Structure 1
Amino acid sequence: MTAYSLGSLLYEGKAKRVYATDQPEVVAVEYKDDATAFNALKKAQLAGKGELNCRISALLFEHLASRGVPTHYLGVGGERWMLCRPVRVIPVEVVIRNIAAGSLCKQMPIEPGTALEPPLLDLYYKDDAYGDPLLTEARLEHLGLVTPQQRRRLEDLARQVNRELLALFGSLGLQLVDFKIELGFTTTGELVVADEISPDTCRLWDRGVADAQDRILDKDRFRQDLGGVVEAYGEVLKRVQGACPEPRVYG
């Protein structure tokens, strides 16, 4: 018997659906099998992807919580269901890059694979209609999305997530190349990590594989038509499971 009942659909994005529940401080998130890239210009259905991302995200949220990182996560509620605190998501994607890859190497004279020290933190306006543009400090101030104090807290929290994930993935033979996260405010005003942390939102390379394509264990396999997307995500789950306790079941 579940400890909650599903209510109305609140939001549907590319990879997830968010539902109200009969508990005002709990929302239910369903992870979909949809795969998208290039602002949804490329689409596919990959059976099992939603379940894998839900499980990986739950394990990583559990790990971050144990390290003092506040998140919206409350527990899992099924193979592809996660229960979370409702948050007012800030429409800013925070991207941290430890190794140069992807769009960065098209926008700047930096060779792919170059270590970035310190890690590069960028903020993007989360809006597909505008192509998720890079936010300068002046643009961020003009939009009024966060106060200067909130921005500092947002960036500090993102860097803390990076440190914790670098250490965890490094211990599992994985290189965290870069990742994006979303943050938001709970109903009590607490800033927390929201959305998901998975191979959909992280670039992960297998440190034990030299080939530049074979080492990819993230959504770049879909972007670059390399195949084996679900198998790669399964490998990430297997390694993370070996280092993190089983995710709590909400209820």
Structure 2
Amino acid sequence: MFRGVVSDIFFDLDHTLWDFEKNSELTFQKILSKNQVSVVLNDFMSVYRPINLEYWKMYRENRISKPDLRYQRLKRSFDALHFPISDDTILVLADEYIEHLSSFQHLIPNAVEVLEYLSPNYRLHIITNGFQEIQEKKMRNSNIHHFFEHVIDSESVGVKKPHPRIFKFALEKAQVPAHRSLMIGDNMEADVLGARYLGFHTVHFNAHADGDPNLCKTIDDLLEIKSIL
């Protein structure tokens, strides 16, 4: 589908290549135990996941600050479980979550195989809304950093996907036109619509079962990339 058309591929990181859900759960398992917070992990994760997605959307839309995101997603989760916990402990957990998250290395199934397949023939890059201080650590610790020529993060650019400026910055950094570029990501709003506005080709990795095959090419497994590139 994109062979002979695309020269550069821009990936999102979390939920697309790096297994955020699995690594996040392992991080909470570690820090809740360390701080003797006796909440049931499965119960906590079941309420935390949707709350976290909600707060990331607010963060993308500049309706909440980074410190508020880190605190409120935990506060809301414990409140939803009616679990008594002090603000001081929540702040400790918020800091330790960021400290330990990048130490876990699980990737989305088939991520390495696909990157190895693509890297001889395409220039690969990352565009991420994740926090600058941990995104490169995630990539290095999971041994995928070497696949990518440029890593563009929202904090460095000053805007978050889907803002056009971050995609324009990525194109300028890679010195490639949009019509030769492909964006692959899990978030329809941030990755697909944001990139399409600038003229990128797009593929939606349907990690959250919210894909729209009528809007763009949608895949459920990263291995499907091998059939289109």
Query: Does the TM-score normalized on the shorter chain lie above 0.5?
Result: no
Greater per-residue helix proportion: 2
TM-score (norm 2): 0.30
TM-score, structure 1 normalization: 0.28
Q: Which has the higher contact order (CA 8 A, sep 6+)?
A: 2
